[in-house]
Structure 1
Amino acid sequence: MTFQPESELSTEEANDRVDDALAGNDVVLFMKGNRLMPQCGYSKRALELISGHVEEFETVDVLPALPEYREALESHSGWETIPQTYVEGEFVGGSDVLAELEERDELGATLAGEA
């Protein structure tokens, strides 16, 4: 049995933090871990893809309150998986969608809000 620390956030507080991050930043990546230490391969890949096109973007580590953030993000995007990327408050997708946009040479424009 693994130890799961009790979250310090309610779902409502996580929802408020999601709203604040989306309102205050053009590009937001909700991820497991942070820029220096991504905690899953998908989060690392999303971070690398975004970093290849924009310097300034917000990251939010969802691990301290994963169930609460997962619920809050699902109510915004309809997706329950993480990472999730938003541009100008609109859900773009996870690392798989970012990779597809990169392959089509559309990621830079999407992150710039041109899509």
Structure 2
Amino acid sequence: MNRLLKPIFVEAISNNAFRLMVARYSVATGSKEHIDSLVKGKKVVVFMKGTPDAPRCGFSNAVVQILNFHGVKNYSAHDVLADENLRKGIKDYTNWPTIPQVFIGGEFVGGCDIMLELHKNGELIEELKKVDIRSTLLDQENENTKG
């Protein structure tokens, strides 16, 4: 069973000296706490089948391609096929039945269909701006208007 270990620091007095003892507790993958730790404070997070370099379904591949098209390089990706608890947990967390699932700025955006729609209507550029990511499409538009 996969577990995420987090240290807790406890001060203890022994022989008139302070010692730092490390206790550990575990949080199950797929739990609300675990998923919070994966998405909160991150610019872009994708829960997908496979990895960005090797997507294992067409919908996950489409999300990767959309992000690539906008020049989003440094995002956090989690392969739900590698952990059934994470796969079930993310669906419960968002109340969204399908994978992939995309978060921007810690907020759930949606799956492949939503990402495709945001890309088509230009709203993805605005969503990325909110987390200080400049879409490379803006640079391409500038180049096209110069020429």
Same fold at TM > 0.5: yes
By percentage of residues, which structure has more helix? 1
Letter in 1 for 2:73: E
SS for the counterpart of 2:51 is coil
In structure 1, the partner of 2:18 is none
Q: Does 1:107 align with 2:124?
A: yes
The match for 2:86 among 50, 56, 69 is: 69
Indicate conservation of the 8 Å contact 1:71/1:80, yes or no: no
Deviation of residue 76 (structure 1)?
Answer: 2.2
Q: Tell whether the 8 Å contact from 1:32 to 1:61 is kept in structure 2 after alignment.
A: yes
The separation in 1 between residues aligned to 2:119 and 2:96, in whole angstroms, is 21
- The total of aligned residue pairs comes to 106
- Per the alignment, do residues 77 and 51 of structure 1 end up closer, same or farther by CA in structure 2, a change over 3 Å counting? same
Q: Is the 8 A contact 2:81 2:87 kept in 1?
A: no
Q: Is the 8 A contact 1:73 1:80 kept in 2?
A: no
Residue 2 of structure 2 corresponds to residue 9 of structure 1: yes
Structure 2: runs of 5 or more not aligned: 4-26, 132-147
Question: 1:3 is matched with which residue?
Answer: none
* Residue segments in structure 1 that go unaligned for 5+ positions in a row: 1-7
Match of 1:45 in 2: 62
Based on CA coordinates, which of the two structures has the bigger radius of gyration?
A: 2
Could you say what the CA RMSD is over the residues aligned between the two structures, in angstroms? 2.0
TM-score (norm. length: structure 1):
0.80
SS of the residue corresponding to residue 102 of structure 2 reads strand
SS of the residue corresponding to residue 40 of structure 2 reads helix
Taking only the aligned residue pairs, the percentage that are identical comes to 33
Higher relative contact order (CA 8 A, sep 6+): 1
Deviations 1:46-85 (A, max 9, x none): 011112222221111111113x223211232110210000
For 1:71 and 1:113, locate their aligned partners in 2 and report how far apart those are by CA, in whole Å: 29
Secondary structure (helix, strand or coil) at the match of 2:96 reads: coil
Distance (Å, rounded) in 1 between the aligned partners of 2:130 and 2:60: 21
